[in-house]
Structure 1
Amino acid sequence: MAERVAVLLASLALLTGCAGPVAGTAHPVRLGDGDRGKFKAYYERVNSAGDESASQQAKLLKDTQHPDFRQKACDLRGATIKVEPTWTTLRADADWTPPGEKAHPRGDVYVVAVTITIRQQDQVIGSQIGSVHVVLLDDEVYGFAPCLGG
């Protein structure tokens, strides 16, 4: 069990970008209420799916994976995540590319500070603060698999 928890916590660290700093100067994004609402709705869907089941959340994460990176997937080994963004930190990050990738994702890339809690069978096994990336592309919000470091 301890080995499994270590693997899940390592996945959590990858999800939050290894908790490393994000380059650039933080300036809150001036998004309209409609676009800001899309980001909020995205994370509400992620969290609601996790409340339903690990398989529901895994399906949602796969379905909302950025189209340029659909081949990248992660196995959270039956765990779920709860993502709590700090919306005042949301900002554009136009120069970001996923770790190990050369191509910049299509769309408008944003980064936001989050607290992520990982649960296994309704038991919290870890929590971390970090940054994740999301993209607004063709009026839809897309994320990145936890193994891409968000």
Structure 2
Amino acid sequence: MTVRRVIALTLVALSAGCATTVPGQAVPMGGNTAPGQEREIVSQYFTDLNDAAAEGSDTQRDFLRRTQHPDFTDRTCELGDLVLTIEPALSTLRVDPKWKPEKATSRPRGSVYVVGVSVRIRRDNATLAEQIGSQRVVVLDGRAYGFAPCPTR
């Protein structure tokens, strides 16, 4: 069957009413999405993280130290001269109520969110790697806290 014939048959089927529409309106999944104010706090966290990255590894290291979740300040990693740029896909931001850091005995205080991210790892303005994954951010007392990423070996 030629491409033209497939297109023609598809158009005929659609015009004959074979396409299905579902009445109603799309509604976000209740209870799993971040409230507007906390969504903004998480978004600002990534903006500040990337602004720190633009200033270099020392500034970003300081940012990661200051924003490490207060219950887990003993779990930081040394990034050396690496700089991370992290772009969140905020449309994927959702509550993650059961998550706790690896080997932790309890959850972090606050509202835990998970978001899909694209991470670019740089050294001396040269991109070493890019990857897609997820990252947890916790909103506690109106502030966003993270968990300093650790490079894998």
| Same fold, TM-score > 0.5, yes or no | yes
Residue identity over aligned pairs, in percent, reads 39
Distance 1:100 1:130 in 2: 20
Q: Deviations over 1:27-73 (max 9, x none)?
A: 561412x3221111110110010100100000000000000001111
TM-score (norm 2): 0.76
Structure 2 unaligned residues grouped into runs of 5+: 1-28
8 Å CA contact 1:109, 1:135 repeated in 2: yes
Paired AA for residue 51 in structure 2: S
Secondary structure of the residue that 1:89 maps to in structure 2?
Answer: strand
CA RMSD, 1 decimal: 1.9
Q: Deviations over 1:50-97 (max 9, x none)?
A: 100100000000000000001111111211000000011000000000
Query: Which residue of structure 1 aligns with residue 81 of structure 2?
Result: 78
Distance 1:148 1:37 in 2: 27
Distance 1:78 1:130 in 2: 22
Return structure 1 stretches of 4+ with deviation > 6 angstroms. Answer: none
Residue of structure 1 aligned with 2:118, choices 100, 115, 120:
115
Residue of structure 1 aligned with 2:44, choices 33, 41, 59:
41
Instruction: Go from structure 1 to structure 2 and tell me whether the alpha carbon gap of 1:62 and 1:30 turns closer, same or farther (over 3 Å shift).
Output: closer
Structure 1 unaligned residues grouped into runs of 5+: 1-26
Paired AA for residue 75 in structure 2: K
- After TM superposition, list the pairs within 5 Å mapping 1:25-104 onto structure 2: 27=29, 29-32=33-36, 34-104=37-107
Instruction: Go from structure 1 to structure 2 and tell me whether the alpha carbon gap of 1:121 and 1:110 turns closer, same or farther (over 3 Å shift).
Output: same
TM-score (norm 1): 0.77
Distance 2:53 2:77 in 1: 15
Secondary structure of the residue that 2:39 maps to in structure 1?
Answer: helix
Relative contact order (alpha carbons < 8 A, sep ≥ 6): 1 or 2 greater? 1
8 Å CA contact 2:116, 2:133 repeated in 1: yes
Residue of structure 2 aligned with 1:105, choices 81, 105, 108:
108
